């Protein structure tokens, strides 16, 4: 087995840079960071500029630069996947794989694992920062329930986030999975090797009859070479996997021809239906004398609730966070608020036939009226929440949104569209579904429709984005797909 990684590889913890080992906040997300592709995308049609889109460029992918929240999708998410024609992905069938991946230090019951590779823990209440404690008190007083286990299938309300950074060390999939396998004689890891395109044998036609993936064209060390294999598995993420498919001629035929790429298999769903979690920050001036330390934990407590009028449980997530460059005290306090189940759909399009040119990422957040209505409710509830007396001495004036942004629905919609940011949760660009679904790219076993010997296993194949940070779900999907590949 050959693992190709476009970025560097760090085989042992001692040689790993601190920005990967520890959560040094901006070190892994600033434009031009060594281990980040530092992509850009358009969040809303109204925003004239582009926003940063973080993607890991190192062994372990985005799990090596993320915020380390191990929050699972809801049971309804996976039952929705099953209802869309993917019966192998219902909650009952995915739960054993969530249990398999985790080693939960706090919760021991039928819903959690105790001997998996990924350690999971939570900050105890006695260790919460003053801002986190005040947030919890305000949420309880506002009527939100206490949530002692955010990964319980019925969980909702406010509680401590499940995390995968015991002792402050980010436990990426490179550390938790790959390092345990490096001794195997049948595994070779080749870092700094950029896949340029997939190579095919057999007939190239619109139906894909007889088409088979036989290898990968790779660039490394200034040279281009070919690697052949019996099965090719793309795990490049929800941006690079569809990009690589289209560069290889698999995708919507006409746009490929316009870029001079000869189509080998027409799959119109590649790059379509792109989802992510639109996010905004409520910004407060830090009260005099209260400045979170630069190395303060980023994530401790979170809130999930259902927006007014919504039929989707837990479609809002709120987290007070500290996220500032090292060695600088925070001048303000930012409260993250996210829409967890957006209906708006974006699109990923090739901008060039050159693999070095990033695709055009048009997320089209808040183009669905119901998304705006739910997000408005969430922001207004957050504004009221932070008027609680528990924040006295911690928060000063609210800087954003201003009072003028809250005066009516139109003003707040304008603020949301101007301020919406892009979370690191891009998904659904190679949607899973039956062959009867014209926009499906892979079947429920992650095999690309109409192409033999080719699978995609990453967030791109989600039929719908989960109502949670995506890291835990993607690891679960890899565990599940591994059993499919082994024929279990």
Question: Rounded to an integer, what is the distance from CA 317 to the centroid of its chain?
Answer: 14
Instruction: Yes or no: say if 247 and 261 are a contact pair by the CB < 8 Å rule.
Output: yes
Q: Measure the CA–CA gap between 411 and 105, rounded to whole angstroms.
A: 45
Token digits for 437? 């679904």
What is the torsion angle, in degrees rounded to the nearest 10, for the CA atoms of residue 472, residue 460, residue 455 and residue 34?
Answer: -80
Q: Measure the CA–CA gap between 146 and 148, rounded to whole angstroms.
A: 6
Q: Is the peptide bond before 442 cis (omega within 30 degrees of 0)?
A: no
CA distances from 445 to 9, 208, 288 (A): 29, 18, 56
Q: Phi/psi of residue 286, each to 5°?
A: -70, 135
The active-site residue out of 35, 67, 277, 425 is 425
Q: Measure the CA–CA gap between 79 and 37, rounded to whole angstroms.
A: 33
Token digits for 181? 């396998």
Q: Phi/psi of residue 245, each to 5°?
A: -60, -50
Helices (H), 351-428: 369-385, 409-419
State the CB neighbour count (10 A cutoff) for residue 277.
Answer: 24
SS3 447: strand
Can you spell out the DSSP letters for 286-337?
EPTT----TTS-S--EEEEEPPTT-SSTT-EEEEEE----TT---SEEEEEE
Minimal CA–CA distance to 374: which of 312, 453, 324, 424? 312
Minimal CA–CA distance to 382: which of 413, 337, 342, 415? 337
Active site residue 425: yes
CB neighbour burial string for 191-220, b if at least 16 within 10 angstroms, e if fewer: bebbbbbbbbebebeeebeebbbbbbbbbe
Catalytic residue set: 425
């Amino acid at each position: 087995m050959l693992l190709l990684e476009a970025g560097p590889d760090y085989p042992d913890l001692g040689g790993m840079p601190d920005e990967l080992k520890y959560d040094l906040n901006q070190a892994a997300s600033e434009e031009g960071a060594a281990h980040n592709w530092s992509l850009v995308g358009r969040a809303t049609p109204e925003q004239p500029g582009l926003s940063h889109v973080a993607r890991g460029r190192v062994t372990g992918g985005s799990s090596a630069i993320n915020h380390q929240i191990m929050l699972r999708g809801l049971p309804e998410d996976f039952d929705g996947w099953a209802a869309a024609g993917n019966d192998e992905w219902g909650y009952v069938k995915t739960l054993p794989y969530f249990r398999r991946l985790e080693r939960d230090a706090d919760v021991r019951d039928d819903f959690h694992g105790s001997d998996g590779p990924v350690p999971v823990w939570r900050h105890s209440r006695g260790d919460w920062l003053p801002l986190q404690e005040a947030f919890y008190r305000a949420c309880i007083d506002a009527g939100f329930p206490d949530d002692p286990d955010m990964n319980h299938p019925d969980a909702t309300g406010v509680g401590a986030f499940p995390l995968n950074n015991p002792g402050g060390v980010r436990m990426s999939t490179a550390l938790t999975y790959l390092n345990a396998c490096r001794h195997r004689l049948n595994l070779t890891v080749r870092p700094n090797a950029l896949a340029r395109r997939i190579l095919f044998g057999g007939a190239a036609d619109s139906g894909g009859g007889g088409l088979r993936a036989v290898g990968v064209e790779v660039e490394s060390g200034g040279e281009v070479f070919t690697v052949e294999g019996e099965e090719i598995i793309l795990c490049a993420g929800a941006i690079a996997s569809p990009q690589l498919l289209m560069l290889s001629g698999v995708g919507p035929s006409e746009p490929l021809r316009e870029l001079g790429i000869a189509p080998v298999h027409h799959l119109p769903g590649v790059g379509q239906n792109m989802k992510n979690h639109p996010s905004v920050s409520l910004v407060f001036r830090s009260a005099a004398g209260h400045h979170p330390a630069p190395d303060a934990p980023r994530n401790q407590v979170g809130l999930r609730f259902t927006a007014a009028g919504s039929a989707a449980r837990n479609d809002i997530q709120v987290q007070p966070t500290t996220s500032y460059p090292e060695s600088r005290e925070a001048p303000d306090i930012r409260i993250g608020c996210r829409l967890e189940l957006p209906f708006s759909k974006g699109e990923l399009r090739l901008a060039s036939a050159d693999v070095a040119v990033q695709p055009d990422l048009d997320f089209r957040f808040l183009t669905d009226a119901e998304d705006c209505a739910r997000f408005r409710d969430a922001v207004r509830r957050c504004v009221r929440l932070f008027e609680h007396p528990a924040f006295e001495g911690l928060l000063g004036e609210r800087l954003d949104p201003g009072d003028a942004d809250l005066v009516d629905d139109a003003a707040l919609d304008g603020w949301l569209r101007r301020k919406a940011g892009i979370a690191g949760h891009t998904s659904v660009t190679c949607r899973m579904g039956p062959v009867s679904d014209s926009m499906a790219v892979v079947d429920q076993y992650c095999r690309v429709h109409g192409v033999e010997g080719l699978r995609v296993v990453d967030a791109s194949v989600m039929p719908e984005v989960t109502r949670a940070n995506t890291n835990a779900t993607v690891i679960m999907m890899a565990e599940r797909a591994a059993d499919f590949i082994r024929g279990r």
